[in-house]
Amino acid sequence: MRRHFLKRSEGAVLLEFVFCFPILFVLFLFAVQFAYIMITWHMVHYAAYMGARSAMTVNNVQRKSRAEAVAKRVLAVVSASPSDSKDAKDRADDQYIKLDGWGRLPNTKYLDQQVEVDIPLLDVDPRGLKCTVKFKMLLQVPVAGRIISFFAKKDKTEEESKWQEKLEQQAYALNPALLGKYANEWTIDEKNKLKYPYITLSSSSVISIPYATKYYPLTR
């Protein structure tokens, strides 16, 4: 009877599962969040490319506004704003989110605050027209999003720098979840005190201008 009891392994299997499952689950969350980041980064790069293409068809004064409109149209797909409704005040302008024959893209309330486009007014780049797009991506995957935003944060306080140094040196085991309170948060709604961890994705695209557009009429 005693020998049979010692050979049973149900308890050992359960203990292994208890130890391994949280680690595997956190790794799964990181994989999901990194997948979202890669998809969004490709969209940001495409937005920069399309912004440069659209900007070179107008004069220098209109370039930035034209590129912004195109970039917002592209990035509306990955806006992922945390609040949404059928009211017009809870979504971006229809020129960015309305798709003919389909409807409106959901979750786009803070699109205007997420997208920033920079185009030089003068043609100073010998390579052509350069369009830079910066996009504030909201990280909504639990645990993983907050930790990633912490390490992506540029201006860290002294306490945050000490935490990062300890993690890099692996001086002792630290619970990564504790970094959540130091996440790089963006207050997107002051009234409702809505904060979300985020990272800023940036991409630039340069396209040679095959013809002069600086003297285009302002009405075009």
pLDDT tens-digit profile of 112-124?
889 999 998 876 6
Quickly list DSSP for 167-178. HHHT-S---GGG
Contact 138, 198 (CB under 8 A): yes
Contact 197, 124 (CB under 8 A): no
Q: pLDDT band at residue 175, thresholds of 50, 70 and 90?
A: low
- Tens digit of each residue's pLDDT (9 = 90 or more) over 192-209: 677 788 899 999 999 887
| Angstrom distance (rounded) from CA 27 to CA 16 | 17
Contact 105, 99 (CB under 8 A): yes
What is the mean predicted confidence (pLDDT) over 59-71? 90
On the question of pLDDT at 72 being above 80, the answer is yes
pLDDT of residue 151: 78
| Angstrom distance (rounded) from CA 51 to CA 116 | 11
| Angstrom distance (rounded) from CA 70 to CA 46 | 10
Contact 155, 72 (CB under 8 A): no
What is the mean predicted confidence (pLDDT) over 97-113? 85
Q: pLDDT band at residue 61, thresholds of 50, 70 and 90?
A: confident
Across 143-179, b (16+ Cβ under 10 Å) vs e yields: bbbbbbbbebbeeeeeebeebeeeeeeeeeeeeeeeb
- Length of the chain measured in residues: 220
- Tens digit of each residue's pLDDT (9 = 90 or more) over 34-52: 999 999 999 999 999 999 9
H-type alpha helices, 8-110: 10-55, 63-75, 94-97
- Give which of 136, 131, 125 is closest to 184, Cα–Cα: 136
Q: Is the pTM of this model over 0.85?
A: no
